[in-house]
């Protein structure tokens, strides 16, 4: 059977419908997807919310701190990193991170510290964080005579203890200078070859039984402080390194706290040490592990409670016998 032809002998041309059908059956290439765009506003908003959450947490709940000075030796060493809880005494202007709020006396959910608490305090003339120990509460009368605290007319117990050993840590710096220069006469080498400073130590016990070790190695002017009434809404603070602490005994001109500290200037309570570095670390991450003080991580900073320490009345003239 032959294919039909046109009168001229040629095959008939396909009609338009057949041509369109043939064209529609041709597979099409998939369209390229539109280029993805970054939602910059969403990214910035996410980072902002994360930063805000961190600031709120640091202002209301807890915040990490670094110890840069020797004022709280032997219980806190330069290089210690610790956590301070922000809520135990309520919140005030000082609670906000970076001290961005104006100073004031108002406190929210206010509570009073206890004897022996280690707290963060801000001096009256500058926005810096000091860390000291509470040794007198509102309404107390406090004096210091020859290095011993007289609280409400009674001597606070101080019992001599074996010298406390502080590692020499030669690379540790305070304000650009070696931290332990003033202790050179106490340097000694142990049987295992380690060099330490063996410093005179005493165990101090406050009226509520809070007990802790202090260092007192020389006579200096802060060993004597006239009797002062701690006003309501204030506490009296001292460092555990009694000869090298700018605390409530020291004037503002001496970069001290200038007497009793308003509770509105107390920013939190020290809870525990997270880790500690001995000063030998550098930007090289390989040095970080070797500089860790392995025995200091997770040390609790609340004072030991030993029961009320022995107290005795001070002499009428305020004299104090040897410890």
Mean pLDDT of 36-49: 88
Provide the pLDDT confidence category of residue 13 given band limits of 50, 70 and 90: very low
What pLDDT is attached to residue 314?
A: 59
- The pTM score is 0.84
**Residue 97 near residue 63 (C-beta atoms within 8 A):** yes
Provide the Cα torsion 305, 308, 309, 312; round to 10°: 160
- pLDDT exceeds cutoff 60 at 33: yes
What would the pLDDT profile of 124-158 be if each residue is shown by its tens digit? 999 999 999 999 999 999 999 999 999 999 999 99
- pLDDT exceeds cutoff 50 at 310: yes
What pLDDT is attached to residue 205?
A: 97
What pLDDT is attached to residue 4?
A: 46
What would the pLDDT profile of 147-196 be if each residue is shown by its tens digit? 999 999 999 999 999 999 999 999 999 999 999 999 999 999 999 999 99
| Residue 57 to residue 64: CA distance in whole angstroms | 11
- Rounded to whole angstroms, what are the CA distances from 269 to 24, 145, 323? 79, 28, 30
Continuous segment of H or E residues that includes residue 231:
none
| Residue 108 to residue 119: CA distance in whole angstroms | 18
**Residue 228 near residue 142 (C-beta atoms within 8 A):** yes
- Rounded to whole angstroms, what are the CA distances from 120 to 32, 79, 148, 167, 173? 61, 17, 23, 25, 22
| Residue 39 to residue 207: CA distance in whole angstroms | 61
């Amino acid at each position: 059977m032959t294919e039909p032809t046109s009168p001229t002998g040629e095959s008939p041309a396909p009609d338009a419908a057949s041509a369109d059908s043939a064209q529609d059956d041709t597979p099409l290439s998939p369209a390229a997807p539109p280029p993805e765009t970054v939602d910059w506003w969403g990214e910035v908003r996410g980072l902002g919310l994360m930063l805000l959450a961190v600031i709120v947490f640091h202002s209301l709940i807890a915040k990490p701190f670094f110890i840069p000075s020797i004022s709280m030796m032997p219980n806190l060493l330069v290089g210690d990193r610790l956590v301070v809880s922000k809520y135990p005494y309520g919140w005030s202007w000082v609670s906000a991170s970076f001290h961005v709020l104006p100073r004031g006396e108002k406190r929210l959910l206010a509570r009073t510290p206890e004897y022996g608490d280690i707290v963060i305090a801000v001096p009256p003339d500058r926005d810096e964080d000091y860390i000291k120990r509470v040794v007198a509460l509102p309404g107390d009368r406090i004096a210091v005579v020859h290095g011993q605290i007289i609280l409400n007319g009674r001597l606070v117990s101080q019992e001599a203890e074996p010298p406390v050993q502080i590692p020499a840590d030669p690379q540790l710096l305070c304000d650009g200078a070696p931290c332990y220069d003033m202790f050179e006469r106490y340097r000694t080498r142990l049987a295992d070859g380690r060099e330490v400073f063996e410093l005179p130590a005493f165990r101090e016990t406050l009226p509520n039984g809070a007990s802790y070790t202090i260092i007192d190695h020389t006579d200096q002017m802060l060993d004597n402080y006239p009797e002062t009434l701690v006003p309501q809404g204030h506490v009296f603070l001292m460092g555990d390194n009694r000869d090298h602490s700018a605390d409530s005994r020291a004037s503002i001109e001496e970069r001290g706290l200038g007497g009793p500290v308003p509770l509105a200037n107390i920013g939190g309570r020290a809870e525990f040490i997270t880790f500690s570095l001995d000063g030998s670390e550098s930007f090289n991450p390989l040095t970080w592990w070797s500089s860790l003080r392995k025995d200091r991580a997770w040390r609790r900073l609340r004072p030991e409670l030993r029961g009320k320490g022995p107290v005795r009345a001070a002499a009428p003239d305020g004299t104090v016998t040897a410890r």
